[in-house]
């Protein structure tokens, strides 16, 4: 296999590895985003449940305080009615009146305490509502992050699929190039065996140009004589491409060499070779 062929094989393998590595990195990043999103969503749900429980507890306390205040108002009304009834009946016992006044003061004190408690509960309820709004805002932000992460994950999967497809195409192309290189090596080995070519001297063949002087047929084979010989540094195994103007006729391989001429066999046939055709060194 030639050095260029090996270079392209290594280059294709490196590109395939790069595509596969990029796809794996994108998939890992997508999985990391999804795990972070799920953890954040669970944390937001837990915080929301806790705040909802606190809000429900504060609302229940508030309703209980309102009910107690209404009961005391009702009791106060009843006592007031009793006092009026007693007064109407002429009962003016000071002790009874003092007792009733004391009860009224006690009730008023309780009402004041309830009012204070109600204010505190209202303040706590307002704070809980603000916290709930904050939690809901954070939840909405987390949902936005989740949607962005899902979009990123989808994009990463699409890029990974594209990279996998490109890597598959590169592997197929590499297999084809490898098969082509193997076929070329097989043809080269066949040519070396058939024509006794020394492959170590092929690359050292100097550039030269000559002319076909005659063509002979013998034993079903075609032999070509050219006007280049030992004086021109021609050696057995040298190959030349044959042209007539712009028409490519084939390739010949030198078999024997004398001082001024060489005999060659047809190594590749494209059109009949005739005297006067031009031969040039294979590039």
pLDDT in tens, 170-193: 677 667 766 765 775 676 667 556
* pLDDT over 80 (residue 208): yes
Q: What is the pLDDT of residue 174?
A: 66
Residue with structure tokens 């057995």?
236
How far is Cα of residue 16 from the mean position of the Cα atoms in its chain?
A: 15
Q: Name the pTM for this structure.
A: 0.32
Mean pLDDT across the chain: 80
Per-residue pLDDT band for 249 (boundaries 50, 70, 90) equals very high
> Would you put residue 260 in left (φ > 0), alpha (ψ -120 to 50) or beta?
alpha
Q: What is the pLDDT of residue 80?
A: 80
More confident residue, 160 or 51: 51
d(CA 153, CA 150): 5
To which H or E segment does residue 279 belong?
strand 278-281
Q: C-alpha angle with apex 49: 46 to 54, nearest 5 degrees?
A: 125
* Dihedrals phi, psi of 183, to nearest 5 degrees: -65, -40
Q: What is the CATH number of domain 3-174?
A: 1.10.287.1490
Residue with structure tokens 């009949």?
272
Q: Which two tokens stand for residue 167?
A: 């890597």
**DSSP secondary structure letter of residue 239:** E
Angle between helices 3-88 and 94-195 (to 10 degrees): 170
Percent helix, strand, coil in the chain, to 5, is 70, 15, 15
* pLDDT over 90 (residue 227): yes
Helix and strand numbers, DSSP H then E, in the chain: 2, 6
Instruction: Classify domain 199-281 at the CATH topology level.
Output: Thrombin, subunit H (2.40.10)
What is the DSSP code string of 101-161? HHHHHHHHHHHHHHHHHHHHHHHHHHHHHHHHHHHHHHHHHHHHHHHHHHHHHHHHHHHHH
Residue 173: name the closest of 61, 26, 42, 13 by CA: 13
* pLDDT over 60 (residue 25): yes
How far is Cα of residue 59 from the mean position of the Cα atoms in its chain?
A: 50
DSSP 3-state of 21 = helix
d(CA 263, CA 137): 93
Residue with structure tokens 């004086």?
231
DSSP 3-state of 275 = coil
More confident residue, 102 or 248: 248
Q: What is the pLDDT of residue 229?
A: 96
pLDDT in tens, 126-165: 887 888 787 788 878 777 878 887 787 777 678 768 767 7
pLDDT in tens, 262-280: 999 999 999 999 999 999 9
For the chain, report the end-to-end CA distance as a whole number of angstroms.
Answer: 18
Q: C-alpha angle with apex 265: 203 to 219, nearest 5 degrees?
A: 155
**DSSP secondary structure letter of residue 146:** H
Q: What is the pLDDT of residue 17?
A: 75
How far is Cα of residue 200 from the mean position of the Cα atoms in its chain?
A: 48
Domain ranges of the chain: 3-174, 199-281
* pLDDT over 70 (residue 199): no
To which H or E segment does residue 216 belong?
strand 209-218
* pLDDT over 70 (residue 4): yes
């Amino acid at each position: 296999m030639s050095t260029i062929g090996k270079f392209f094989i290594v280059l294709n393998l490196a590109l395939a590895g790069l595509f596969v590595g990029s796809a794996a990195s994108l998939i890992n990043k997508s999985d990391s985003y999804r795990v972070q999103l799920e953890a954040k969503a669970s944390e937001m749900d837990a915080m929301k449940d806790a705040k909802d429980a606190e809000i429900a507890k504060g609302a229940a306390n508030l309703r209980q305080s309102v009910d107690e205040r209404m009961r005391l108002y009702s009791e106060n009304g009843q006592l007031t009615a009793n006092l009026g009834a007693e007064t109407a009946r002429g009962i003016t016992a000071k002790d009874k009146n003092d007792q009733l006044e004391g009860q009224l003061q006690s009730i008023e004190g309780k009402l004041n305490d309830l009012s204070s408690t109600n204010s505190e509960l209202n303040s706590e309820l307002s704070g809980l509502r603000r916290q709930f709004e904050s939690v809901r805002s954070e939840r909405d932000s987390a949902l936005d992050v989740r949607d962005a992460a899902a979009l990123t994950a989808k994009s990463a999967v699409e890029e990974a699929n594209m990279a996998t497809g490109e890597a598959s195409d590169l592997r197929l192309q590499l297999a084809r190039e490898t098969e082509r290189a193997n076929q070329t090596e097989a043809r080269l080995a066949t040519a070396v065996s058939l024509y006794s070519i020394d492959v170590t001297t092929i690359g050292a063949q100097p550039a030269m140009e000559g002319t076909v002087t005659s063509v002979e047929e013998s034993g079903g084979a075609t032999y070509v004589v050219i006007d280049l010989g030992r004086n021109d540094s021609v050696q057995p195994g040298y190959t030349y491409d044959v042209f007539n103007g712009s028409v490519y006729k084939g390739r010949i391989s030198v078999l024997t060499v004398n001082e001024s001429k060489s005999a060659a066999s047809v190594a590749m046939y494209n059109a009949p070779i005739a005297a006067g055709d031009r031969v040039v060194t294979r590039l």
